[in-house]
């Protein structure tokens, strides 16, 4: 989850950075609005994508001349899982803190929307269709498709009233309040990132640019409309409303002049988002494949050399492949299969062969028995409590070679069983009878 949140904020930084660098001054208002509305969706979805890529098997053991070597671990450093458990606890604490921040931001957002509703319905007014006139409303605005005219409406000349009504009608027709609601929801998710608030402000600016452009569609309308902007310029309000004066005057006049008097440029800058999305996809979506392809088995094997007998009775509790490690609490490759058995259960040789090695690995496998079956096959039995054979002894398939235990990095008694073919770990379930 922490990785997901980091990638979400990374996507927000990249996408909003591109907007501020190249796009926010372009007069293509529909494209700018679409880009800003898609940014939260991309930030949420991209870290969730998983595109598998081929995995190169990286064993915990290095094969050198047919022997397997494990890096030495100092017993004085304690169990390696202790530090992992500590970091796991810290991660859970950070997630709880992040969740608390989201809850606080949610309460704050709900309070702002409720306050906006109260402001618009605090006093009775005159309604005609979707147009409301409130004598005590301090400003004109739009809220979910309804136009609310404030007390300044009566002070305007007929032409100015037409400009104001056209402006607010654009907010209502294009559903700008829904944009604000969507970006406010994303601000709850990314509450600790100031760019989430900047994204909302940028969308509100685009809303005003769109309404200005529609309210003053001709160059001859520019002087009168600019005077209206100067006349109604007031302190910006913090409520989630699309109001006439809600953004800086300089930016609105500058963008309106570009739309009316400048020849539009080709929107090639928007193509920059394509390589950016490709880079973000490569960072966030490509994961190691969850399953390692099983090594092909030879067509002919010597009799009884194939380790295909289940070493203990019972069902497999944890299979071959990537899994959440029960002790380290992180995704790791599980090189074999686990059988849940009681302490002291008889462990049988999966096939005939020679005891290749017996190892004592208290930090990982515990008491480990390795049997070489020939033809490239090796079986390994881990977490044992007792081993009944010694190195060099011959065993037959079905012989009791050890007793199960709970040694090494093991949380409950069980048998960890592995099969290797020509030095590569393979899925035992594809071989066992």
- Reference 385, options 341, 432, 419; nearest CA is 341
Counting every residue written for the chain, the total comes to 433
Do 269 and 217 lie in a common domain?
A: yes
Do 381 and 258 lie in a common domain?
A: no
Asked whether residue 297 is assigned to any structural domain, the reply reads no
At 370 the pLDDT is: 95
Do 103 and 207 lie in a common domain?
A: yes
Domain of 213 in residue numbering reads as: 2-70+98-280
CB-based contact 2:41 (threshold 8 Å): no
Do 168 and 48 lie in a common domain?
A: yes
Q: What is the CA radius of gyration of the chain?
A: 34
At 61 the pLDDT is: 39
At 68 the pLDDT is: 38
Structure tokens at 285: 């979506």
Residue 153 CA to residue 146 CA, distance in Å, equals 16
Starting at the earlier edge strand, list the strands of the sheet with 131-133.
126-128, 131-133, 146-149, 141-143, 242-243
Q: Of 280, 313, 345, which residue sits at a domain end?
A: 280
Do 151 and 9 lie in a common domain?
A: yes
At 299 the pLDDT is: 37
Q: Which DSSP letter does residue 405 get? A: B
**Residues forming beta bridges with residue 415, ordered by sequence position:** 339
Digit-coded pLDDT (tens) for 171-213: 899 999 999 999 999 999 999 999 999 999 889 888 888 888 8
The CATH number covering residue 368 comes to 2.70.70.10
Q: Of 230, 252, 280, which residue sits at a domain end?
A: 280
CA atoms within 13 A on the CB side of 90: 6
Q: Of 280, 297, 330, which residue sits at a domain end?
A: 280
Do 128 and 275 lie in a common domain?
A: yes
At 290 the pLDDT is: 42
Residue 335 CA to residue 417 CA, distance in Å, equals 9
Asked whether residue 374 is assigned to any structural domain, the reply reads yes
Do 222 and 362 lie in a common domain?
A: no
CB-based contact 395:369 (threshold 8 Å): no
Q: What are phi and psi of 223, to 5 degrees?
A: -60, -45
In sequence order, the 6+-apart residues with CB closer than 8 A to the CB of 403 are: 343, 344, 345, 346, 347, 384, 385, 386, 388
In sequence order, the 6+-apart residues with CB closer than 8 A to the CB of 60 are: 70, 335, 364
In tens digits, what is the pLDDT along the chain, a chain of 433 residues? 788 888 888 888 888 988 888 788 777 888 889 999 999 998 898 888 765 544 443 444 333 333 434 444 433 334 444 444 555 567 778 888 888 999 999 999 999 888 888 878 776 678 788 888 877 777 788 888 888 888 778 888 888 888 888 888 998 999 999 999 999 999 999 999 999 999 998 898 888 888 888 888 788 888 888 888 777 765 445 566 655 555 566 677 777 777 766 666 666 767 777 777 777 766 765 554 444 444 444 433 345 568 889 999 988 888 888 877 666 677 778 889 999 999 999 999 999 999 999 998 888 889 999 999 988 899 999 999 999 999 999 999 999 999 999 998 888 899 999 999 888 899 998 888 7
**Residues forming beta bridges with residue 432, ordered by sequence position:** none
Do 49 and 180 lie in a common domain?
A: yes
DSSP output for 279-290: HHHHHHTEEE-S
Q: For the chain, how many structural domains are there in total?
A: 2
CB-based contact 23:30 (threshold 8 Å): no
What's the Cα-to-Cα distance from 227 to each of 110, 245, 330, rounded to whole Å?
36, 13, 63
In sequence order, the 6+-apart residues with CB closer than 8 A to the CB of 282 are: none
Task: Report the run of H or E that residue 168 belongs to, with start and end.
Answer: helix 158-174
Do 330 and 248 lie in a common domain?
A: no
Residue 16 CA to residue 202 CA, distance in Å, equals 10
Q: Tell me how far the alpha carbon of residue 11 is from its chain's centroid.
A: 10
Do 137 and 187 lie in a common domain?
A: yes
Digit-coded pLDDT (tens) for 102-118: 999 999 999 988 888 88
CB-based contact 15:281 (threshold 8 Å): no
3-state secondary structure of 391: coil
Asked whether residue 85 is assigned to any structural domain, the reply reads no
Asked whether residue 424 is assigned to any structural domain, the reply reads yes
Neighbours of 310 (CB within 10 A): 16
- According to DSSP, the β-strands at 415-421 and 377-387 are antiparallel
Asked whether residue 91 is assigned to any structural domain, the reply reads no
Asked whether residue 82 is assigned to any structural domain, the reply reads no
CB-based contact 404:347 (threshold 8 Å): yes
Do 107 and 157 lie in a common domain?
A: yes
In sequence order, the 6+-apart residues with CB closer than 8 A to the CB of 415 are: 311, 312, 338, 339, 341, 345, 347, 381, 382, 383, 384, 404
- Reference 5, options 88, 98, 85; nearest CA is 98
Task: Report the run of H or E that residue 92 belongs to, with start and end.
Answer: helix 80-121
CB-based contact 244:167 (threshold 8 Å): yes
Asked whether residue 19 is assigned to any structural domain, the reply reads yes
Do 272 and 392 lie in a common domain?
A: no
Asked whether residue 180 is assigned to any structural domain, the reply reads yes
């Amino acid at each position: 989850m922490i990785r997901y949140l980091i990638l979400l904020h990374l996507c927000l930084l990249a996408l909003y950075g591109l907007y501020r660098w190249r796009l926010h001054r372009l007069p293509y208002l529909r494209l700018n609005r679409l880009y800003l509305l898609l940014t939260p969706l991309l930030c949420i979805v991209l870290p969730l994508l998983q595109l598998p890529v081929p995995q190169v098997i990286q064993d915990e053991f290095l094969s050198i001349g047919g022997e397997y070597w494990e890096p030495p671990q100092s017993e004085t450093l304690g169990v390696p899982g202790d530090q992992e458990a500590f970091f796991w606890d810290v991660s859970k604490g950070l997630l709880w803190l992040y969740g608390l921040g989201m809850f606080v931001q949610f309460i704050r957002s709900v309070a702002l929307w409720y306050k906006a509703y109260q402001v618009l319905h605090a006093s009775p007014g005159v309604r005609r269709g979707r147009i409301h006139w409130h004598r005590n409303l301090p400003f004109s605005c739009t809220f979910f498709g309804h136009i609310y005219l404030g007390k300044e409406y009566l002070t305007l000349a007929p032409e100015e009233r037409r400009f104001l009504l056209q402006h607010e009608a654009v907010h209502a027709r294009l559903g700008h309040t829904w944009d604000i609601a969507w970006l406010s929801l994303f601000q709850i998710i990314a509450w600790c990132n100031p760019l989430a608030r900047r994204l909302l402000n940028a969308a509100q600016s685009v809303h005003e640019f769109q309404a200005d452009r529609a309210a003053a569609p001709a160059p001859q309308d520019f002087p009168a409309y600019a005077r209206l902007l100067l006349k109604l310029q007031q302190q910006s309000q913090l409520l989630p409303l699309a109001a006439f004066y809600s953004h800086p005057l300089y930016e609105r006049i500058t963008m309106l002049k570009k739309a009316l008097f400048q020849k539009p440029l080709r929107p090639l800058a928007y193509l920059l988002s394509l390589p950016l999305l490709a880079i973000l996809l490569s960072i966030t979506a490509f994961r190691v494949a969850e399953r390692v392809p099983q090594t092909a088995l030879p067509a002919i094997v010597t009799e009884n050399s194939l380790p295909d007998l289940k070493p203990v009775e019972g069902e497999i509790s944890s299979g071959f492949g990537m899994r959440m490690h029960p002790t380290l609490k992180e995704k790791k490759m599980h090189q074999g299969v686990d059988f849940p058995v009681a302490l002291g259960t008889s462990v049988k040789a999966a096939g005939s062969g020679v005891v290749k090695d017996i190892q004592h690995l208290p930090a990982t496998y515990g008491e480990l028995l390795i049997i070489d079956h020939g033809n490239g096959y090796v079986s390994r039995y881990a977490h044992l409590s007792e081993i009944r054979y010694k190195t060099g002894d011959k065993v037959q398939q079905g012989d009791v070679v050890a007793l199960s235990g709970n040694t090494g990095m093991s949380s409950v008694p069980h048998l960890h069983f592995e099969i290797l073919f020509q030095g590569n770990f393979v899925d035992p379930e594809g071989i066992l009878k």
